[in-house]
A and B are shown apart, each in its own frame.
Chain A
C-alpha cells in the first residue's frame, strides 16, 4: 500500500475486530478526560505500555507512528507549566510566565494524559486494516453501507491524490505558470487538485454503481466481521486499565473530577 497506509503486521491485537479496538480507545480516552491528575495518567500509561507488546509493531514502526505524540505531549505540558493555572509556591516568574508547584504538577499530568490517550489510539489503529474497520462498522455497528464503503473507497484514493498533486505541479511548471509565489501556487494547485478529486470521485462512483453498488438489493458481506472471545477480552482489558487507573488515583487522593473543579 501507499506510504500513508503501510502494511499491517499480523499480531494478537491486529487480529481483534477493529470495532473492539475503537471501543477501547474511546473508553480509555473518555475516562482519562474525567480527571487531570498525575496518578491516573501514569498508571494508565504504564498498563497501556504493557499491552503494546502484543501489538506486533517493531521498534522502528512504533517510534515512526508515535513520533508526533512524543513532540506534542511535552509541548502541551510545557505550555501548561508556563501559562497554566497557578497554585502553590512560586518557583519562577518572568512577565506573563510563571512556574508554580501547581502548574508544574498540572503540566506533568497533561503530558502523561496526552500520551496515555494518544498511544493506545495510534497503536490500535496502526494495527487495523481500513477494510476490516469498514466491515466492522457496517456489520457489527450496523452503520449504513453507502456511508462506510464510500469512506473506504475515499481512503484508497489518497494514494492517487499524491500522484495527482505531483503531476499537477509538473504540468503547471510546463505550462509556464509555475513561477508565482509559493503560497499562490499552493492555493491554485490545491483548487486544481480539488477539481480532479471531484472528477475522480464521480468516476469512482460510476464504477461502483456499475458494479451494482447502491441498488435496492440487500447487500451481503464477503468478509465476516465477528465479535468473539478475543474482542470481549480486549474490551475487558480496556475497562480494567481504566478502572485500575481511576482506583489508584482515588486511593492516592489525587483524583479530581473535572466537573467538580470551579
Chain B
C-alpha cells in the first residue's frame, strides 16, 4: 500500500510572479515589492534574504493564505499553475515557522487526516495518505498518539506530514528546522530531500543556514529588502559570484563567517555573582504540587566578566535552568545563592526578590520574544525597565535612544513590537533587557532564526557585555555562538559541572 502510493508522483506546480508586491495593513513600506519570478515544476529552491526581506510573506502568498483586503494591499500578480493561489487550495502545502501553532487536532492520525478531509478526499484514501505521510516523514507512532506530547522535531515532522497528506505539487517550508538541535536539523533536511524526490513536487524552502540545504536544492533565490531579487541561480554560482554581497545582506554564506567585533580587552573573571550547588530544576505541571525535574545535580558558578553557554539536546532542561538562574522559577532542589556582590543587601535566594530588584541584577531574554513585550511601541517598550527603576527622564531617553541606534531599531521606534519581523523582535527583546544594565544576563536561544548580520551584532554585543564585566549566560543549539563567545560550556544531559 505504502509503496504503491509513493510510486505515484504528483505533477510539480509552477509559480509566476509579475511585478508582485504586498504591503501589510498599517505599514508604510511594502514587505515585498517589484518581484518578477518564475519557478518551474520540480525545481528545488532555497529562498534567502536578510531579516525582514519578506521571505515569509512570499511563501504565504504562494500558499494563498495572505488574506484579503483587510490584511493588506496586493500589487501585480502571482499565479500558481496559472491560477490565483487562494483558488488552488491543496496545490501548495505550507509548513509555517512555529510547529506548535499548526497542530489542529489532538491525535496525530486525525491531525494528518485534517488536510485531506478539507480537500474532499474519500475516506479510504485519507487513511492510506495518512499512513504514507507519517511513514514518509519517519514519525513512527500509533495514529492515536497525542499530538501535544511530541518533541520539537516530532512536531515538525507532524506538521510536514499534515501538508504531505494533501499531495501538494508545491511544498513551501518556512524555516523547517526551527529550534531543533543539530541532529534534528539534519534529520528534517533528509526527510524533505527524500519526500521531494519521491513526489516530484516543487520545493521552496526559507532558511538562513545555506550550508544545511545547499546539496538539497538546485536553485538559490535571494530577495532584496529594497524590492525585487538580489541574486538568482545555481547554488554554487550564486554563492561564488554573490557570496560577499549576500553575506553583507545577512545571508549565511558557507566560507564567509559573519563579522564579529574583535575583543581586544578580554577581562579576567571578577567576583562571583551566582552559585549553584547540586541544583535541580523543574517546572510544576498544572494541577500538581510536585515539580517534574528536568535536570539535577548541577554545580555552577557565574562570575563577573565571563560568558557561559548552556548546551544539550532538546528536552534536557536548558530553558528550565535559565529560568531558575534568573530568579523566575523556584529551584526543585539543591542550593542557588546570590553572592553579596549581586544580592547587594537582599536575601541570597533570587526567587525571593521583588520583580523590580531583578532588573539591575538578573536580566532574562526569553525564547519567545512575544511573551516579554508589554507596550504599544518599540520606544515605550524600551522605556519600561528604566521607568520601573524610577530613573530620571533624561537618563531614560538617553538609554532608549542609545539602544535604538545600537540595535538598528531607530526606524521602528513607533512600530508595535508585535508587528516586527522575527529578527527585529529578537533585537528588541535583547534591547529591553540591556536598558536596565543587569549584572547577569540570561538569554534563551538568542541567535535562533537570525540572519548573519544580526548574528554578528548579537555576538559582538554579548562579547562587549562580558568584557564590560557582566556575566552572560546563553542557552543555545548554535555551535558557532558557543565557539565565538563562550568561556565555558555546560552540556546538559551529560557532564554537569562547570566552573565559570
| Contact code string A214-252 (vs B, CB < 8 Å = 1, else 0) | 110111111110000000000000000000000000000
Report yes or no: A222 in contact with B120, Cβ–Cβ below 8 A. Answer: no
Complex interface: chain A residues within 8 A of B126 (CB): 220, 222
Report yes or no: A204 in contact with B370, Cβ–Cβ below 8 A. Answer: no
Complex interface: chain B residues within 8 A of A200 (CB): 101
Complex interface: chain A residues within 8 A of B358 (CB): 173-174, 176
Query: Bound complex: CA of A214 vs CA of B138, how far in Å?
Result: 29
- The reply to whether the CB of B146 lies closer than 8 angstroms to some CB of chain A is yes
Report yes or no: A179 in contact with B356, Cβ–Cβ below 8 A. Answer: yes
| Contact code string B259-275 (vs A, CB < 8 Å = 1, else 0) | 00000000000000000
Query: Bound complex: CA of A207 vs CA of B97, how far in Å?
Result: 10
Complex interface: chain A residues within 8 A of B110 (CB): 131, 222-223
Interchain CB contact (< 8 A) of B89 among A153, A159, A217, A223: A217
| Contact code string A174-211 (vs B, CB < 8 Å = 1, else 0) | 11111100000000000010011001100110111111
Report yes or no: B366 in contact with A211, Cβ–Cβ below 8 A. Answer: no
Query: Bound complex: CA of A206 vs CA of B326, how far in Å?
Result: 35
- The reply to whether the CB of B107 lies closer than 8 angstroms to some CB of chain A is yes
Query: Bound complex: CA of A167 vs CA of B371, how far in Å?
Result: 7
Query: Within B131-159, which residues are at the interface with A (CB < 8 Å)?
Result: 146, 148
Complex interface: chain A residues within 8 A of B121 (CB): 220
| Contact code string B96-122 (vs A, CB < 8 Å = 1, else 0) | 101011111111001001111111111
Interchain CB contact (< 8 A) of B363 among A152, A156, A174, A203: A174
Report yes or no: B123 in contact with A176, Cβ–Cβ below 8 A. Answer: no
- The reply to whether the CB of B292 lies closer than 8 angstroms to some CB of chain A is no
Secondary structure dominating the interface of B: mixed
In the complex formed, the residue of A with least CB distance to B387 is: A176
| Tally of contact residues, A, Cβ under 8 A | 54
Query: Bound complex: CA of A213 vs CA of B63, how far in Å?
Result: 13
Report yes or no: B371 in contact with A171, Cβ–Cβ below 8 A. Answer: yes
Report yes or no: B166 in contact with A211, Cβ–Cβ below 8 A. Answer: yes
Query: Bound complex: CA of A219 vs CA of B118, how far in Å?
Result: 5
Report yes or no: A170 in contact with B286, Cβ–Cβ below 8 A. Answer: no
- The reply to whether the CB of A212 lies closer than 8 angstroms to some CB of chain B is yes
Report yes or no: A3 in contact with B104, Cβ–Cβ below 8 A. Answer: no
Report yes or no: B127 in contact with A222, Cβ–Cβ below 8 A. Answer: yes
Complex interface: chain B residues within 8 A of A192 (CB): 374
Complex interface: chain B residues within 8 A of A220 (CB): 116-117, 120-123, 126
- The reply to whether the CB of B418 lies closer than 8 angstroms to some CB of chain A is yes
- The reply to whether the CB of B162 lies closer than 8 angstroms to some CB of chain A is yes
Report yes or no: B384 in contact with A176, Cβ–Cβ below 8 A. Answer: yes
- The reply to whether the CB of B329 lies closer than 8 angstroms to some CB of chain A is yes
In the complex formed, the residue of A with least CB distance to B98 is: A203
Report yes or no: B385 in contact with A204, Cβ–Cβ below 8 A. Answer: no
Interchain CB contact (< 8 A) of A210 among B63, B286, B372, B389: B63
Query: Bound complex: CA of A162 vs CA of B433, how far in Å?
Result: 25
Report yes or no: B359 in contact with A160, Cβ–Cβ below 8 A. Answer: no
Query: Bound complex: CA of A106 vs CA of B101, how far in Å?
Result: 51
Report yes or no: B355 in contact with A173, Cβ–Cβ below 8 A. Answer: yes
- The reply to whether the CB of A164 lies closer than 8 angstroms to some CB of chain B is yes
Query: Bound complex: CA of A4 vs CA of B355, how far in Å?
Result: 30
Report yes or no: A160 in contact with B146, Cβ–Cβ below 8 A. Answer: no
In the complex formed, the residue of A with least CB distance to B287 is: A3
Report yes or no: B418 in contact with A199, Cβ–Cβ below 8 A. Answer: yes
- The reply to whether the CB of B332 lies closer than 8 angstroms to some CB of chain A is no
Complex interface: chain A residues within 8 A of B388 (CB): 175-177
| Contact code string B319-331 (vs A, CB < 8 Å = 1, else 0) | 0000100111100
- The reply to whether the CB of B212 lies closer than 8 angstroms to some CB of chain A is no
Say yes or no: A178-B118 contact (C-beta < 8 A), given A156-B106, A222-B123.
Answer: no
Report yes or no: B374 in contact with A207, Cβ–Cβ below 8 A. Answer: no
Separation in Å of the A227 CB from the closest CB of chain B?
A: 17
By a beta-carbon cutoff of 8 Å, the part of chain A in contact with chain B is 1-5, 129-131, 149, 152-153, 156, 159-160, 162, 164, 166-168, 170-179, 192, 195-196, 199-200, 203-204, 206-215, 217-224
Extra A-B contacts (8), CB below 8 Å, given A170-B371, A212-B90: A174-B363, A174-B366, A178-B355, A179-B356, A199-B370, A212-B119, A215-B90, A220-B116
By a beta-carbon cutoff of 8 Å, the part of chain B in contact with chain A is 60, 63, 65, 89-90, 93-94, 96, 98, 100-107, 110, 113-123, 126-127, 130, 146, 148, 162-163, 166, 283, 285-288, 323, 326-329, 354-356, 358-359, 362-364, 366, 368, 370-372, 374, 384-385, 388-389, 418, 432-433, 436
Smallest CB-CB A-B distances: 3 pairs = A178-B355, A207-B102, A212-B118
